[in-house]
Amino acid sequence: MFAVRFYSLFSLVNHYTVMGQAALPPDFLGTIPMLGWTRLPLFIIGFLVTEAYLWHSYQQTKKA
Q: What is the pLDDT of residue 46?
A: 92
Contact 17, 32 (CB under 8 A): yes
Amino acid at 15: H
Query: Which distant-in-sequence residues (6+ apart) come within 8 Å of 13 by Cβ?
Result: 35
User: Low-confidence residues of the chain, pLDDT below 70?
Assistant: 28-32, 34-36
Q: pTM score, two decimals?
A: 0.50
Question: What sign for the dihedral angle of Cα 13, 46, 4, 7?
Answer: positive
Q: What is the pLDDT of residue 7?
A: 86
Q: What is the pLDDT of residue 29?
A: 64
CA separation for the pair 57, 39 (Å, rounded): 27
